[in-house]
Structure 1
């Protein structure tokens, strides 16, 4: 039997929340007027809403695993019983039971895929809600700091921390959007057709 296929999702969620630990240079260089940077990952990982989404996604993943585990256990048990009794069954009975087991396995795989898609979609919707709330804040801080260029820190090796507006954006986002409450969301039919 195939194991749960959405385990990678939880790992990706947790990995996305961990900021890459780069060792910064001892002398970050001068502050360049008009040049600022921000970190989208830093906003997601550092904001209250982003951390709430990460925590809730872990809970939803665990709920899905709890939902699917009885199916997995049942199929594994049936497969083991079939293997043990295969020698005593007629070929027709054996083939019938194998086909039934394969059908249930396909149904389980489909359910696993559906739940994995729901989790990905739910996370994307919540990330978009945070991004939508953060965007005007980024623009406001950009203007307040007199930035002429705003770099995404993912595109820059190193930048003077004094030029990074992420902490200010996170602070204001926390005041505006302290948390998000949500449940697993079904993927709309239109979104399913695009996959």
Structure 2
């Protein structure tokens, strides 16, 4: 027989499992970007980058969506904040690798190589910044439609975290999901005893596992 003293702990664990099965382990696991909308807005309001760089970006975004589906078990054409950061960092890594390949140039071309590397590095940094800024500027138009499952206050926090990552290179998307929900609710002047209550009090609904 389970004692009354143990019951709250078990209930708490059940609620914790429900939250994590629905939303993920961290605030960065919440689905927020629509892959379809990204493509549409890229057409109507293109990023000021080369066609080659855009192709690499699109490839990484598609790969990130494949990873999302594998991790979540949901067949949704969307991205989380983690997915977006991973995709952009993968683009940056690809560009760095290409620049690194210039080390294979003959020694007699060393001076040319150094100037070329400097120029390409500046172009890489500028290209990545333009990509980041584009996602920040178009954030609202890129949102994945969840039928009101994700509270607006959470959407605003994710947008703010994106801007913070771009400005400081510090990634805040790893904050524990329960801690983040209670923190966001407190910021919105909403009192709740549990993350689940806070999520619903902010107007959200939990996703059904496997939905």
TM-score (norm. length: structure 2): 0.34
Structure with max Cα Rg? 1
TM-score (norm. length: structure 1):
0.36
Between 1 and 2, higher relative CO (CA 8 Å, sep ≥ 6) is seen in 1
